[in-house]
Amino acid sequence: MAAFVSAVLPGAGHFLVNRRRAGMVMLLLFSALLSICWPLRLLIHFGALVGLVFGMLTLCITAVVDSAYGRGHDQPKPSQWWLVILLPLAFGTAFGHARWVVRAAGFQSFEVPSRSMENTVPENAHVMVDRWYYTKNAPVRGDIVVYMNREGIYLMKRVVALGGETIRSTDGRISIDDQPIAEPYVIHSGDAPPEFNNFGPLKIPAGKIFVMGDNRDISLDSRSPEVGPIDVTSLRGRAIYTLAGYKGRTYKRFQ
């Protein structure tokens, strides 16, 4: 029983076998891992996410094995065959803890099923998003944002123009308030409709932003009349880094 309890809450099972000191140490380590997510919110760094997952995995496995087979028990130790059940349970609870803690701290992983943000975000890449970012910060040009459209679908695009600015495109080159802007992340992978490369001038209303995909020829974004500039209130978070799927690498931080 102690091992099952410690698999769910590391250290709690130790109290059932009168190993309070070891239980307190593990509960403190568990609390320290939770603090990575909140209030410190260190998950804006990829290394903190890796540390959280591996730390939680190590702690849950150690708690299970130690509560069942460690020294100082006042109860008979179970057969080692129980590890066949206990270790998978420890793995599952470790990843479960990491998942709910990440969500509770305001972060969420999104899979991007389209090519509209290539090459910055490849198709089927997993991206970590800070869902609380725009509760305290205003969007700025260059942000990669997640927003919800009118149909309730989450989409990922890049902020190109802000409320009060005037945007124009000439042969695909973007100008804001008659000043060309640098967009080194943009690619062209096909034949875009003429109105996607030549439009404006268009003044963005206050409270709205103009968003576009980095893969300009295939992205359905604010250039389309059916989308247009989006409300700032529709923003659901700011993308901070990829978790997998970037040119064979597992990590890429967005500027």
Pair 146, 111: CB distance under 8 Å = no
| Biggest distance spanned by C-alpha atoms of the chain | 79
**Dist. CA 124–CA 155, nearest whole Å:** 13
Task: Select which of 67, 157, 169, 208 is catalytic.
Answer: 157
In DSSP terms, which residues pair with 174 in a beta bridge? 169
| DSSP string over 119-184 | TTS-TTEEEEEETTHHHHS---TT-EEEEE-TTS-EEEEEEEEETT-EEEEETTEEEETTEE---T
Question: Which secondary structure element, helix H or strand E, spans residue 201, and what is its range?
Answer: strand 199-203
Alpha-carbon Rg for the chain, nearest whole angstrom, is: 24
What tokens appear for 2 in the block? 């102690």
**How does DSSP classify residue 187?**
B
Instruction: Check if 157 is active-site.
Output: yes
**Dist. CA 46–CA 241, nearest whole Å:** 7
Task: Select which of 6, 116, 219, 222 is catalytic.
Answer: 116
- Would you please indicate which residues are annotated as catalytic (active-site) residues? 116, 157
